[in-house]
Amino acid sequence: MGDLLDEYRRQKRIGLEGNLYHKTQIELAYNSNHIEGSRLTEAQTRQIFETRTIDGPARIDDVWEAANHFRLFDLVLDTAEEPLSIDLVKRFHRTLKANTDQALSDSIYEPGAFKTLPNEVGGMLTVEPEKVAVCMDDLLSSYAETRKTFEAVIGLHHRFERIHPFQDGNGRVGRIIMFRECLANDIVPFVVRDDMKAYYYRGLSKYDEEPGWLLDTCRSFQDDFVARFLPLVPHVKPPRAG
């Protein structure tokens, strides 16, 4: 485990505003939720994190999912030493979707449960529901046996999104796993920015034929993280870049 993970944990305990932990919580939650259609502004997301209140109109589920994302990031920090497992991935999903309309309804959207109906990402069909458990087991088993490089983490993310194991929330769970695996393996983590989502989606859709598009897009996110986040912790040894 790297110095950056230790610093995130230290700052979480301190609870001060304006530090690396504070900035990461807000930008991760805002961007990842906004990519999936949240209407919250970054200022509203910040307000929810800092004061547990919100000004202006907002959808209830958007508020819940912002608050849940903050808890999800804390869970990632708390479990970074644990091997990535199906049970842990399901726990991430339960945390993200808790108390939403989907969670409270008697429907197919049970938090922490694999999908029961086909779904798609970027217009492409994903793994059939009956094959999800086997595919996820194969994905996590093969990933556990690899050397944890930047390329391995991005490959994990691509395969996770092609499986799309949950009925909803796959993108957000997949992106927080990607952040976790970078952080846990002393690789520069990054925030997938909403204003770059077209390049991110293109990279995912074209990964099989040209993985460089997604890798380069994520490297640009790493560059952004190094430029804007790491100066907040100049005493921390920088992680490895991609």
Binding residues: 168-175, 200-201
In the chain, the percentage of residues whose pLDDT exceeds 70 is 100
The pLDDT tens digits of the residues spanning 220-237 come to 999 999 999 999 999 999
Does the pLDDT of residue 2 top 90, yes or no?
Answer: no
Q: How far apart are CA 131 and CA 160, in angstroms?
A: 13
Report which secondary-structure segment, H or E, holds 148: none
- Average pLDDT for 54-75: 97
- Average pLDDT for 140-157: 97
Does the pLDDT of residue 216 top 80, yes or no?
Answer: yes
- Average pLDDT for 135-144: 98
Q: Which domains does the chain have, with CATH numbers?
A: 3-232 (1.10.3290.10)
Q: How far apart are CA 140 and CA 85, in angstroms?
A: 7
pLDDT reported for residue 173: 98
Band (43; pLDDT cuts 50, 70, 90) = very high
Active-site position among 34, 69, 164, 235: 164
What do you get for the CA distance between the two ends of the chain, in Å?
17
pLDDT reported for residue 125: 82
Report which secondary-structure segment, H or E, holds 48: helix 42-51
In the chain, the percentage of residues whose pLDDT exceeds 90 is 90
Band (1; pLDDT cuts 50, 70, 90) = low
Binding residues for ATP: 168-175, 200-201
Q: Tell the residue number behind the tokens 């949240």, with chain if given.
A: 38
Annotated catalytic, 164?
yes
Q: Which segments within the chain are labelled E, that is strand?
A: 120-121, 124-125
Q: How far apart are CA 135 and CA 163, in angstroms?
A: 7
Distances (CA, A) of 139 to 44, 71, 72, 194: 36, 25, 22, 27
